[in-house]
Structure 1
Amino acid sequence: MTEIETIESFERHLRSGASLRGVVLQGLDLRGYTRELASVVLAGSVFLGCQLEQESVQAALAQGAMVFPPFLGLPYLPYRSGLYSTEELYAGFDPSRPESYADTLDARIYAHWSAQGRAHPVSIVEALAQRLHDHAITDAMEELLAGGGKHRKVVAIMGGHSMLRGQPDYRGVAVLARELTRHGFFMASGGGPGAMEATHVGAWFARRGEAELDAALAILARAPSYKDREWLSRAFEVRAAFPLSAEDRPACASLGIPTFHYGHEPPNAFATHVAKYFANSVREEGLITIAKAGIVYSPGSAGTIQEIFQDACQNHYNTVGVVSPMIFLGREFWTRTRPIYPLLEQLAQGQEYARFLRITDSLEEIVQALEEYDRFHTLSTIPR
């Protein structure tokens, strides 16, 4: 079905003379188009959260169209037409007043989610609105990754939210993400602080040199933890000092996938696209599923370990049609501190994904392994 998500697209469609049969219109204010709607076929069309005059509603229903009315009084749009941006989520934030975060859209949605029962909304209407919101986010994310018909090569980096700015591990993740972005991979993460933030910092600096990256990391290190009062302020200081130009933005793009479930950890400010979900389970599964070019596991705790075994399950049973690399950054950490790798290696014996398992301390080896897999995957899908 054709999807129309902007007034400009709607007007172009009308000018083309085409009917609205089989067209989905999402989140549009169409109250000024009652006459135009009366002159086209509406049978088979779907209106998702559109604002319509009563005359248009009656005409649509009479012709057999589906009309899903908008939800009123919510701080979020259930029928979103696109992903969030950092600018949208943090509109109203003043870096000189860290407490101004409470005025942002991100904070207001989290407060609403908490007041409505958190993961278990007391209202069935609220639960429905949240599910529709998450469906819209998934739809927008799929459109982003399709990239006009050319699918992006998504690599995710997983790791702990408690990884501190200023630590060698943080810098290592940032450098790795920068190199992978330069090699044409599209970086994704859980969108939060720690290793997740470092992933997007790396992508942000894909067109900048070592000295500029180090200067930015020094600024960030003045507020090492997301629990520090100026954690977000320092991020916006870096964004102001090293902005992305319109030319740089496509080459430095990345995708953060956070959740309001962990709303006490604000999303980092460096992801250029933000797919923020209410349902953490949908967010977790989705992040692992889209990372078909591979996942790098930097040091982390329970959440990262959960992701490892979710990924292993997908690879073990090939549930998404692609068996992709699982690369562990930190030999000592993943064999002794958190001895996951030996177990995973044993689990993978005799399975296709065994050859795509790797553990290393070398960032260069990770880049090389992911490039080799990309070449292998490209060759294996070329028709013969």
Structure 2
Amino acid sequence: MESGILINSLTAWYNYTKENKDLTDLVIQGINFRNEKIDWSQFVYENTTFLSCAFNRNQATEVISHGAIVYPKFKNLPYNPNRNTLYTYQELLEGYNFENDASVDLKIYQRFVKNKYNPPLVEAMAQRLHDFNIDESLRRLMGFDKKGMTEKKAVGFMGGHATRRGSEYYVKVAKAAKLLAEKDYYIMTGGGPGIMEAANLGAYMAGRSDEDLATAIEILSDLDFDNQIEIPRDYLAKNYVNNALKVLEMFPNGKENLAIPTWFYGHEPSNVFASHIAKYFSNSLREDTLLAMALYGVVYAPGSAGTTQEIFQEAAQNHYGTFGYYSPMVFLSKKRYVEDTSLYSVLHQLAVDQPYKELLYLTDDPELVSEFIQNHPPVPV
């Protein structure tokens, strides 16, 4: 039998065991068996694991007596380690109010930050199991083949999370993401505010007019900072989320796209323009996963240290062909990446005599971003 099979629903359990009684190497996760009448003696158990399943006492005793490993359910957590779907903004924002934020997202962060650097064993296991299940949900969503290519033509956007709504590169990123989404590229971001929100917004607005996009950005940019002397970051405005919800109400049923944020860097309101949210506890897993999936290209708008790290992380993946393909790297801002930092020049020099050198591109034009990615598909290693 195939090893490493994960079964996480009663339907999947009965479909599998209807004709197959060998449970060797199976992981059965998060299923409630209490009301099921099952003859447990009919199965072969070898390295069979029941993880966070619900049994009555007799069932659990019998399963263990046949040699299965049974891990108990995690209790009193604000998140479900055994979830088998990605998040939605509705789930994460449940309970949100700027004056008294009681959102699910914040409750999870507050639990996480208590032992951020040294979680106890049970907490660490729960977090890792949660992130594994986010991995599994992403694999189903993206449709990976055996060579690591995805059914969806994923393009990632990176850049500063403090970029203001309505600013030059917020608008340019939204336009570039919209153009690419209209060519059936699947837009994905790090899931935060700023450039990441702009890209998810642009993808969401695919198929609508440029005037509609401009209207959406105008609504988003009308922020109330309670007359503070120093204007804080956009996501601290009282109506930051409400303005985004107004855009969703005005322009419903946008194009599907993906956000991959983390609780590691702190709490920020959820990006409501992402139809799927793959939120991780582990930032390193989250960053590696995002770049590994963006095989059709990554677009870098102006950002700071985090964006710079992601640039060289992707460069290393391209340099060594880590994920089986060389992918386009597009830099959106000549000023940022040549005049201010020389990052593009450094990377261009690093890529001399390397296959991915022809996949590097520098521009200030959202339309040229789209054209370059369309004309430069990923190259097999």
TM-score, normalisation: structure 1: 0.89
1:106 and 2:115 matched: no
Which residue in 1 is equivalent to 2:312?
Answer: 309
Which residue in 1 is equivalent to 2:185?
Answer: 185
Aligned-CA RMSD value: 2.1
Which residue in 2 is equivalent to 1:262?
Answer: 265
Inter-partner Cα distance in structure 1 for 2:340 and 2:348: 16
Question: Kindly tell me: are residues 37 and 288 of structure 1, through their superposed partners in 2, closer, same or farther at Cα, counting changes over 3 Å?
Answer: farther
Contact 1:42 1:60 in 2 (8 A): no
Alignment of 1:120-269 (within 5 A): 120-121=118-119, 123-146=120-143, 151-223=151-223, 225-244=234-253, 252-269=255-272
Q: Aligned match of 1:284 in 282, 287, 293?
A: 287
Contact 2:41 2:66 in 1 (8 A): no
For residue 62 of structure 1, report the CA deviation from its aligned partner.
Answer: 2.2
1:79 and 2:82 matched: yes
Which residue in 1 is equivalent to 2:327?
Answer: 324
For residue 9 of structure 1, report the CA deviation from its aligned partner.
Answer: 3.4
For residue 314 of structure 1, report the CA deviation from its aligned partner.
Answer: 0.8
Contact 1:27 1:81 in 2 (8 A): no
Inter-partner Cα distance in structure 2 for 1:231 and 1:28: 39
What code does the residue aligned with 2:53 have?
C
Inter-partner Cα distance in structure 2 for 1:68 and 1:231: 42
> After superposition, what is the alpha-carbon deviation per residue over 1:213-271, rounded to whole angstroms, capped at 9, x for unaligned?
22211110012711212211211121222221xxx6xxx11111100112322331111
What code does the residue aligned with 1:288 have?
L
> SS of 1:328's equivalent?
strand
> After superposition, what is the alpha-carbon deviation per residue over 1:118-137, rounded to whole angstroms, capped at 9, x for unaligned?
2332x222122111111111
> After superposition, what is the alpha-carbon deviation per residue over 1:304-350, rounded to whole angstroms, capped at 9, x for unaligned?
00000101111111111111111100112210122211111111111
For residue 295 of structure 1, report the CA deviation from its aligned partner.
Answer: 0.4
Question: Kindly tell me: are residues 230 and 40 of structure 1, through their superposed partners in 2, closer, same or farther at Cα, counting changes over 3 Å?
Answer: farther
> SS of 2:161's equivalent?
coil
Inter-partner Cα distance in structure 1 for 2:248 and 2:266: 22
For residue 17 of structure 1, report the CA deviation from its aligned partner.
Answer: 4.6
Which residue in 1 is equivalent to 2:302?
Answer: 299
Inter-partner Cα distance in structure 1 for 2:39 and 2:139: 29
User: Unaligned regions of 5+ residues in structure 2, if any?
Assistant: 224-232
Which residue in 1 is equivalent to 2:95?
Answer: 92
Inter-partner Cα distance in structure 1 for 2:314 and 2:359: 12
1:5 and 2:11 matched: no
TM-score, normalisation: structure 2: 0.89
Question: Kindly tell me: are residues 344 and 183 of structure 1, through their superposed partners in 2, closer, same or farther at Cα, counting changes over 3 Å?
Answer: same
Which residue in 1 is equivalent to 2:53?
Answer: 50
What code does the residue aligned with 1:43 have?
Y
Q: Aligned match of 1:118 in 116, 119, 122?
A: 116
For residue 42 of structure 1, report the CA deviation from its aligned partner.
Answer: 5.6
> After superposition, what is the alpha-carbon deviation per residue over 1:118-157, rounded to whole angstroms, capped at 9, x for unaligned?
2332x22212211111111112111211179962111100
For residue 36 of structure 1, report the CA deviation from its aligned partner.
Answer: 2.1
Q: Name the structure where helix makes up a greater proportion of residues.
A: 1
Question: Kindly tell me: are residues 205 and 66 of structure 1, through their superposed partners in 2, closer, same or farther at Cα, counting changes over 3 Å?
Answer: same
> After superposition, what is the alpha-carbon deviation per residue over 1:86-128, rounded to whole angstroms, capped at 9, x for unaligned?
11111233xxx4234x22110110111122x22332x222122
Question: Kindly tell me: are residues 209 and 119 of structure 1, through their superposed partners in 2, closer, same or farther at Cα, counting changes over 3 Å?
Answer: farther
Q: Which portions of structure 1, spanning 4 or more consecutive aligned residues, are displaced by more than 6 angstroms?
A: 147-150
Inter-partner Cα distance in structure 2 for 1:296 and 1:103: 34
Inter-partner Cα distance in structure 2 for 1:373 and 1:7: 44
What code does the residue aligned with 1:175 have?
K
> SS of 1:196's equivalent?
helix
Q: Indicate the larger mover: 186-195 or 233-242.
A: 233-242
> After superposition, what is the alpha-carbon deviation per residue over 1:4-24, rounded to whole angstroms, capped at 9, x for unaligned?
32334345556x454362443
1:368 and 2:371 matched: yes
Question: Kindly tell me: are residues 108 and 42 of structure 1, through their superposed partners in 2, closer, same or farther at Cα, counting changes over 3 Å?
Answer: farther
What code does the residue aligned with 1:334 have?
Y
What code does the residue aligned with 2:99 have?
E
Aligned pair count reads 364
For residue 39 of structure 1, report the CA deviation from its aligned partner.
Answer: 6.5
1:64 and 2:67 matched: yes
> After superposition, what is the alpha-carbon deviation per residue over 1:162-200, rounded to whole angstroms, capped at 9, x for unaligned?
111011211111111111111111111100000000111
Which residue in 2 is equivalent to 1:19?
Answer: 21
Contact 1:86 1:269 in 2 (8 A): yes
For residue 355 of structure 1, report the CA deviation from its aligned partner.
Answer: 0.9
Inter-partner Cα distance in structure 2 for 1:253 and 1:26: 28
For residue 40 of structure 1, report the CA deviation from its aligned partner.
Answer: 4.6
Identity among equivalent positions (%) equals 37
Inter-partner Cα distance in structure 1 for 2:20 and 2:320: 45
For residue 67 of structure 1, report the CA deviation from its aligned partner.
Answer: 2.1
Contact 2:93 2:270 in 1 (8 A): no
Inter-partner Cα distance in structure 1 for 2:334 and 2:29: 48
Which residue in 2 is equivalent to 1:38?
Answer: 40
Question: Kindly tell me: are residues 209 and 147 of structure 1, through their superposed partners in 2, closer, same or farther at Cα, counting changes over 3 Å?
Answer: farther
